[in-house]
Structure 1
Amino acid sequence: MHKGSCLCGAIRFEVTGPLRPPDACHCSRCRKQSGHFWASTDVSRAALTIHGADRLTWFRSSEKVRRGFCSTCGSVLFWDPLPKDTIAIAMGAFDAPTETRLAMHIHVADKGDYYELGDGVPQNPH
């Protein structure tokens, strides 16, 4: 089981089973949401338990996606592609260790001009 929380601890979550290798999204929406780029892992909805869901606020960022954050501290925790059976969880919200490594950078054609990617991880322009 993997556990994590928002910055203030009002929202805590648990994921049963191993985490999938995360990806890092460099699209403009994820950069604006996170302040840099968004690194997350996709998990089955059935594997996720959220405690403090009354503090979770959802922002519908597009017709197909909503993003969940703590209404107290503002920590961005979830990227929810409606109506799929999976939900993405921010890697930075997990308590260590996660026992996984970044698998891919996505939407690198839209990445910020203020940084370079030199970690050797595969890059997808879209």
Structure 2
Amino acid sequence: MQTSIHTGGCQCGAIRYRVEGALEYPHLCHCRMCQKAAGNYFMPLGFAPGKMLTITRGEPGWFQSSDPVRRGFCRDCGTPLFFDTLQSDGMAVTLGSLDDPAAFPPVSQDGIETRMPFHAALGSLPGKNVDRDDLPGGIESIASTNHQHPDHDTELWCTS
């Protein structure tokens, strides 16, 4: 039997992790604590039970957001990575930090009592491609100077 491997990490590459097997209960959490931790309207999370999750590079920083929960993040770039319910056997990862975030579409929304009132209307907003004409050199100036870690494991990665 072959086990699926899913990798992920922070934006700068200082922290990398791997999950052996499928994440359980991929969901969007709209609670106010997750909103603050993500700096966003919600936080997408998926649970890696038992010993499925291994940190393969670096050491995350931790913030004890409540007595039962600590949150792991990269101290270098600030990327939120982990949601650790201390009495649980396993740990959740932020789905956006996966190298392939589309692998785990959400199956539920939690904390909907604090979900933004405009959330349901987001799909009807007009869309546009990013051209960044506000930057000298446009989107090419971002692409040609990208310091973000690629969406795959690397042998070495310079974070400076």
Classify the TM-score, shorter chain: 0.7 to 0.9
Q: Which of the two has higher C-alpha Rg?
A: 2
Distance in 2 (alpha carbons) for counterparts of 1:43 and 1:117: 31
CA RMSD of aligned residues (A): 1.8
Equivalent in the alignment of 1:123: none
Instruction: Confirm or deny that 1:73 pairs with 2:101.
Output: no
Unaligned 5+ runs, structure 2: 124-160
Equivalent in the alignment of 1:48: 53
SS in structure 2 at match of 1:116: helix
Runs of 4+ in 1 over 3 A off after TM superposition: none
Equivalent in the alignment of 1:82: 86
TM-score, normalised on structure 1?
Answer: 0.85
Q: Does the aligned pair in 2 maintain the 1:44–1:86 contact within 8 Å?
A: yes
Equivalent in the alignment of 1:61: 65
The one-letter amino acid paired with 2:11 is: L
Percent pairwise identity? 36
SS in structure 1 at match of 2:51: helix
Distance in 2 (alpha carbons) for counterparts of 1:4 and 1:86: 16
Residue 53 of structure 1 and its aligned partner are, at CA, apart by 3.7
Residue 111 of structure 1 and its aligned partner are, at CA, apart by 1.5
Distance in 2 (alpha carbons) for counterparts of 1:86 and 1:26: 21
TM-score, normalised on structure 2?
Answer: 0.68
Q: Does the aligned pair in 2 maintain the 1:2–1:95 contact within 8 Å?
A: yes
Unaligned 5+ runs, structure 1: 120-126
**Which of 106, 116, 120 is matched with 2:120 structurally?**
116
